[in-house]
Structure 1
């Protein structure tokens, strides 16, 4: 099925059964419906990463098993345990009536049974976890202006065993001086988008970014925040300040056909515009708790 057909199919399943559960590829595109669901735990959270546990009735030849277990059921470790597949990232998506779409990145899967494997348990984390491994850049312009080159030695002159392709970027090594100041929601939104833009520019991913920040919603009434930036990961930098200032942070999966998103178009002026995309994209949303209660 193409994307419009998938949307029609998923909407029909949600209308008839109350929810749709299925597998997505590494780009967030639907691949297949889940089979016979034994149990499902897919909580919705806005202040922490949520975990998925999906148990399916499955066996040899099941498409979920083939995707998530190496060689279907054929490859085992030295201790006899089944090995996970090493292919592209897979996601489990849950759509429910009147609720936000819930995407989870698969972390590992386990096949169980007696004589013949009969169940597949899929574990995952929601897409807010993607902020936990993305660099929280302290000096965005330095990353944007950096260039990759071939290195044969490190900064001390030690020779590498093989040539490495690296880009030199300065980190915030001082005890102070690297802060963002302003209303808390705006500061955190800008910090996430700055970090996304800096890494994407350095890596050449600007034509098709995987995530943007939603800059829409009512006027920012949050209190003033001084956000310390130290090149930790984005989530490590913003989690405590967001909680302390009454903000929620969530990363949703946007699909073609969803409402347009307000994005920042100019870092210096803060100008925004609405946009849609012909592909799935992650949307980071930072909101006041009282606005989403």
Structure 2
């Protein structure tokens, strides 16, 4: 089914049953649904990746068994994403009225005497997208470099097999690269700059994730964030915590409300946007006391 058809079906399931469970592909599209839910846990941890777990009853031949059970589920691919060794990335999705919870599946555990009777799905929430994504110290220059084949490393030591690499500028302790300003806007700019820089390096024109700029005044405390090419979440978590901010990452589907994002032509201008494909939306917000 197309996503629009899936949404109509899911809306009806919500009316009839109050919730929907399904598996999404690596692009965030539903590929099948499942029932037999025994237990589900989608905890939220402020400014950190949370572990997700769901246990379902199964019988031999169930599609979810064929799809998710296999050795090596949870390998990290070349782009830093979690991916099953026996197939593409899968995502767990739990929808209730007004709420869509999604997680990357890392591994599964099957139990049963002789034949499988229960399947426990383990995963991490979408904050993991920030925990594995680099935060470049000089993001504007990443798009100016290209990948090429290297037979030796920088010290002229020969690789066992040639590697495809790009030589990028990185910060050093002496460089002192920092981002400063009101905390909420500074964190948002850092995250969006990181998306833009890595996407430009790889030539990815259809961004998988964007940062929401809601257009409201930013009255958060001023921060100075040191940027040294660590992952995004590691770079911004403590400054955000000190400033009383939280970060959420959610899955947006075509048909959801528009999201105000930074425009490519002028980063100082924002515009309400929609897309024809699913997106990860990063929202930086002030935590209510």
Equivalences for residues 204-283 of structure 1 within 5 A: 204-206=203-205, 208-266=206-264, 269-283=267-281
Aligned counterparts of 2:96 and 2:113: Cα–Cα separation in 1:
33
> Structure 1 residues 134-143 or 144-153, which shifts more?
144-153
- Check if 1:104 corresponds to 2:103: yes
Other structure's SS at 2:238 match: helix
**Once the 2 structures are TM-superposed, how far is the Cα of residue 162 of structure 1 from its aligned partner?**
2.0
Match of 1:24 in 2: 24
Q: Does the CA contact (< 8 Å) of 2:149 and 2:164 recur in 1?
A: yes
Aligned counterparts of 1:118 and 1:104: Cα–Cα separation in 2:
23
Aligned counterparts of 2:218 and 2:11: Cα–Cα separation in 1:
34
**Which whole-Å deviations, capped at 9, do the CAs of 1:9-46 have from their partners, x for residues lacking one?**
11121222221111101110001112211111123454
Match of 1:286 in 2: 284
Other structure's SS at 1:243 match: helix
Where structure 2 has 5 or more consecutive residues not aligned to the other structure, the ranges are: 72-83
Structure 1 residues 51 and 192: alpha-carbon distance in aligned structure 2, compared to 1, 3 A threshold: same
Where structure 1 has 5 or more consecutive residues not aligned to the other structure, the ranges are: 72-83
Aligned counterparts of 2:188 and 2:209: Cα–Cα separation in 1:
12
Equivalences for residues 1-293 of structure 1 within 5 A: 1-70=1-70, 86-99=86-99, 101-175=100-174, 177-206=176-205, 208-266=206-264, 269-290=267-288
Other structure's SS at 2:9 match: helix
> Structure 1 residues 241-250 or 10-19, which shifts more?
10-19
Aligned counterparts of 1:285 and 1:88: Cα–Cα separation in 2:
27
> Structure 1 residues 123-132 or 160-169, which shifts more?
160-169
Aligned counterparts of 1:132 and 1:22: Cα–Cα separation in 2:
24
**Once the 2 structures are TM-superposed, how far is the Cα of residue 177 of structure 1 from its aligned partner?**
2.2
> Structure 1 residues 43-52 or 251-260, which shifts more?
43-52
Other structure's SS at 2:195 match: helix
TM-score by length of structure 1 reads: 0.90
Other structure's SS at 1:61 match: coil
Q: Does the CA contact (< 8 Å) of 1:67 and 1:85 recur in 2?
A: no
Other structure's SS at 2:173 match: coil
Match of 1:75 in 2: none
Match of 1:80 in 2: none
**Once the 2 structures are TM-superposed, how far is the Cα of residue 48 of structure 1 from its aligned partner?**
2.6
**Once the 2 structures are TM-superposed, how far is the Cα of residue 243 of structure 1 from its aligned partner?**
1.0
**Once the 2 structures are TM-superposed, how far is the Cα of residue 104 of structure 1 from its aligned partner?**
0.5
**Which whole-Å deviations, capped at 9, do the CAs of 1:146-173 have from their partners, x for residues lacking one?**
1212211111111122222211111111
